Amino acid sequence: MPSETIAGARVHYIAIPPPEADGAAGKHVALFIHGAGGDHTVWGNQLAALRGRFRAVAVDLPGHGRSERRFDMSVAANAGVIAALIKRLAIERPVLIGHSMGGAVALQCALDYPAVAVALVVISSGAKLGVAPRVLDLIENDPAAALGEIAAASYAQGAPFALVEEGRAALARCPHEVLLSDFRACNEFDIRGRVPQIRLPLLAICGTEDRLTFPKYSEWLVSSVPRARLVLVSGAGHLVMIEKPTEVSRSLSEFLEDLPEARGSPERAE
Question: Residue 211: inside a domain, yes or no?
Answer: yes
In order of 104, 130, 179, 183, 235, the CA distances from 139 in angstroms are 21, 15, 8, 9, 27
Report if residue 20 sits inside a domain: yes
- What pLDDT score does 1 carry? 85
The reply to whether 140 falls in a domain is no
Question: Residue 95 domain-assigned?
Answer: yes
The verdict on residue 195 lying in a domain is: yes
Please report the pLDDT score of residue 72 as a whole number: 84
In a domain, 203, yes or no: yes
Q: State the CATH number of the domain containing residue 205.
A: 3.40.50.1820
Helix (H, G, I), strand (E, B) or coil at 76: helix
Per-residue confidence (pLDDT) for residue 267, from 0 to 100: 36
Torsion-angle region of 217 (φ positive above 0: left; ψ -120 to 50: alpha; else: beta) = alpha
Nearest to 167 by CA among 34, 63, 59: 34
Q: Which of 87, 44, 43, 36 is nearest to 61 (CA)?
A: 36
Q: Is 157 contained in some domain?
A: no
Question: What pLDDT tens digit does each residue of the chain (270 aa) get?
Answer: 899 999 889 999 999 987 665 455 568 999 999 999 999 999 999 999 999 999 999 999 999 999 999 878 899 999 999 999 999 999 999 999 999 999 999 999 999 999 999 999 999 999 999 999 999 999 999 999 999 999 999 999 999 999 999 999 999 999 999 999 999 999 999 999 999 999 999 999 999 999 999 999 999 999 999 999 999 999 999 999 999 999 999 999 999 999 987 654 333 333
Q: What is the pLDDT of residue 268?
A: 37
Residue partners of 142: CB distance under 8 A and separation at least 6:
none
Domain count, the chain: 1
Residue 149 lies in a domain: no
Name the DSSP letter for residue 128. Answer: B
- State in Å, rounded, how far the first CA of the chain is from the last one: 10
pTM over 0.85: yes
Per-residue confidence (pLDDT) for residue 264, from 0 to 100:
42
Host domain of residue 16: 3-128+190-258
Contact by Cβ (8 Å): 227, 199: yes
